[in-house]
Structure 1
Amino acid sequence: MWSMVGLGYGTALGFAGVFGGLSGFLLVLVLGVVGLLAGRVVAGEIDVAGVWDSLGNRKRQAE
């Protein structure tokens, strides 16, 4: 299944690069990563509260 997802995403990036140039390629790449992260949050694979807490703890330790 993931190979098909990778193939589709790679094809979309290829078309974005050909027709949109570098800016189109980067836009599709960034939006794809954002979509991936959002999907993993919705599926429960990423704990947003845990990530947020760990980032807050790093800032406190640096002070």
Structure 2
Amino acid sequence: MSRAMVGLIAGMALGFAAYFGGFWAVLLVLGLGVVGLMVGRFMEGDLEPDDFVRRRGRQERIRDDRRRARGDRRQ
């Protein structure tokens, strides 16, 4: 299914929720849609729990790797 089709379906779902349920129904549908998206991505293997946890050491290693790639030897 193309991204345009998914966007169309999501827009229609939000439109129906707005028409029949009001503002809070739109927020509920939107929130549940995000939860469903995350669960689906976890099940497909596109996301890992570590993607939501930022570790300080890993970020520092990424910065150090970028410095080395630029040739900057200062610390």
TM-score in same-fold range (> 0.5): yes
List structure 1 segments (4+ residues) > 2 angstroms apart after TM superposition. Answer: 51-54
SS in 1 for 2:42: helix
Larger RCO, structures 1/2 (Cα 8 Å, 6+ apart): 1
Equivalent residue, structure 2, for 1:51 = 51
Measured on the aligned residues, the alpha-carbon RMSD in Å equals 1.4
CA-to-aligned-CA distance 1:9-55 (integer Å, 9 cap, x gap): 1000000001000011000000000000110011111111x13542x
Which blocks of at least 5 consecutive residues in structure 1 are unaligned? 59-63
Equivalent residue, structure 2, for 1:23 = 24
Which blocks of at least 5 consecutive residues in structure 2 are unaligned? 57-75
Task: Tell me how far apart the structure 2 counterparts of residues 52 and 5 of structure 1 sit (CA, whole Å).
Answer: 24
Aligned positions, number: 55
Counting helix residues as a fraction of each chain, which structure ranks higher? 1
SS in 1 for 2:22: helix
SS in 2 for 1:46: coil
Identity of aligned residues (%): 49
Report how far residue 2 of structure 1 moved: 1.0
Task: Tell me how far apart the structure 2 counterparts of residues 33 and 27 of structure 1 sit (CA, whole Å).
Answer: 10
SS in 2 for 1:9: helix
